[in-house]
Amino acid sequence: MDNASQRCGRPNARLLAVSKTRSAAAIAAMAACGQQAFGENYVQEALPKIEALRGLGLEWHLIGHLQSNKAEQAAVAFDWVQTLDRLKLVTALAKHRPDSLSPLNVLIQVNIDDEASKSGCHPDEVAALAVAITHEPRLHLRGLMAIPAPAPDMQRRRSAFRAMTALFTAVHMRHPGIDTLSMGMSEDFVAAIEEGATMVRIGSALFGARQPKTEPAA
Ligand SMILES: *Cc1c(COP(=O)(O)O)cnc(C)c1O
């Protein structure tokens, strides 16, 4: 894969700080340490934080499942949407991305191995989605994202990461401008980077454990 990791001869991935459940003050403290990119799961939770921290020039990524009726708010408030997984969202995000902002960066979320999850498209759908995105001037296709099933067995996760890297390489041949493969979280980011991630999404390993609560998928 032609990415920065290979050119440098060693793994090298961008860090996305996952700030769901964290206060604006906690995010500001991390931004003061030099962290610029933050990931949020819920549009409703993110909007007030984005507003409160507007002066800091941070980069906001939506990493949670996006309902179509929230696409307008997401297209206005976020810099990246990592969870584009269906044609309907391509149209909705493109329609609502304001002309005053640069094109919205998007990743196609792929359901690489989690039969139980309703988020993410099937790997076979990626090629058509990628073409649809490149036809929209208000969207900028940056790459792929995946959340492999939480398997205790690290080999299973590695094979999911490897499958994503193969898919990324295939999409890159058609769309050489893409540069981002977002995969790996606190528990498995080392394996993800070794298998080809260019961006890891880290929450608890940065901010500390979240309050234990069941997090809805949406
Ligand atoms: C919560 C979340 C993360 C971060 O998880 P940690 O285990 O806290 O690092 C990464 N990606 C997505 C999509 C998430 O929902």
Please provide the DSSP assignment of 123-163 as one string. Answer: GGGHHHHHHHHHT-TTEEEEEEEE-----S-HHHHHHHHHH
Question: Mean of the per-residue pLDDT values for the chain?
Answer: 93
Q: With contact defined as beta carbons under 8 Å apart, do 82 and 39 qualify?
A: yes
Closest residue CA from atom 6 of ligand 1? 203
Instruction: Give the residue, out of 18, 111, 118, with the most ligand 1 atoms within 8 A of its beta carbon, to mutate for a pocket test.
Output: 18
Report the separation in Å between the CA atom of 199 and the middle of ligand 1, taken as the mean of its atom positions. Answer: 12
pLDDT at 117: 86
CA neighbor of 185 nearest in space, from 148, 135, 130: 148
69, 161, 202 from 59: Cα distances, Å: 23, 25, 15
Q: Is the pLDDT of residue 197 over 80?
A: yes
Report the separation in Å between the CA atom of 38 and the middle of ligand 1, taken as the mean of its atom positions. Answer: 11
Instruction: Give the residue, out of 117, 201, 207, 211, with the most ligand 1 atoms within 8 A of its beta carbon, to mutate for a pocket test.
Output: 201
pLDDT at 191: 96
- The Cβ of residue 2 has, within 10 Å, a number of other Cβ atoms equal to 11
Query: Coil, strand, or helix at residue 174?
Result: helix
pLDDT at 152: 84
Confidence label for 5 from pLDDT (cuts 50, 70 and 90): very low
The pTM assigned to this predicted structure is: 0.92
Q: Which residue has the higher pLDDT, 210 or 62?
A: 62
Beta bridge partners of 39: 18, 61
E-strand ranges in 56-202 read 59-62, 80-84, 104-110, 139-146, 180-182, 199-202
Domains defined for the chain, CATH in brackets: 2-206 (3.20.20.10)
pLDDT at 215: 54
CA neighbor of 60 nearest in space, from 69, 75, 68, 72: 75
Report the separation in Å between the CA atom of 135 and the middle of ligand 1, taken as the mean of its atom positions. Answer: 30
Residue type, 199: M
Q: Is the pLDDT of residue 111 over 80?
A: yes
Q: Is the pLDDT of residue 179 over 80?
A: yes
Instruction: Give the whole-number percent of the chain exceeding pLDDT 90.
Output: 85
Q: Which residue has the higher pLDDT, 10 or 187?
A: 187
| pLDDT 10s digits, 37-54 | 999 999 999 999 999 999
Ligand 1 surroundings by CB, under 6 angstroms: 18, 20, 41, 63, 147, 185-187, 201-205
| pLDDT 10s digits, 160-171 | 999 999 999 999
| pLDDT 10s digits, 51-103 | 999 999 999 999 999 999 999 999 999 999 999 999 999 999 999 999 999 99
- The Cβ of residue 193 has, within 10 Å, a number of other Cβ atoms equal to 20
Would you tell me the crossing angle of helices 43-52 and 24-32 to the nearest 10 degrees? 60
Bridge pairing between strands 139-146 and 180-182: parallel
Q: Is the pLDDT of residue 150 over 80?
A: yes
pLDDT at 10: 61
Q: Is the pLDDT of residue 133 over 70?
A: yes
CA dihedral 134, 135, 140, 145 (to 10 degrees): -50
**Is 48 exposed, middle or buried (CB count within 10 Å of its CB: 0-12, 13-18, 19+)?**
exposed
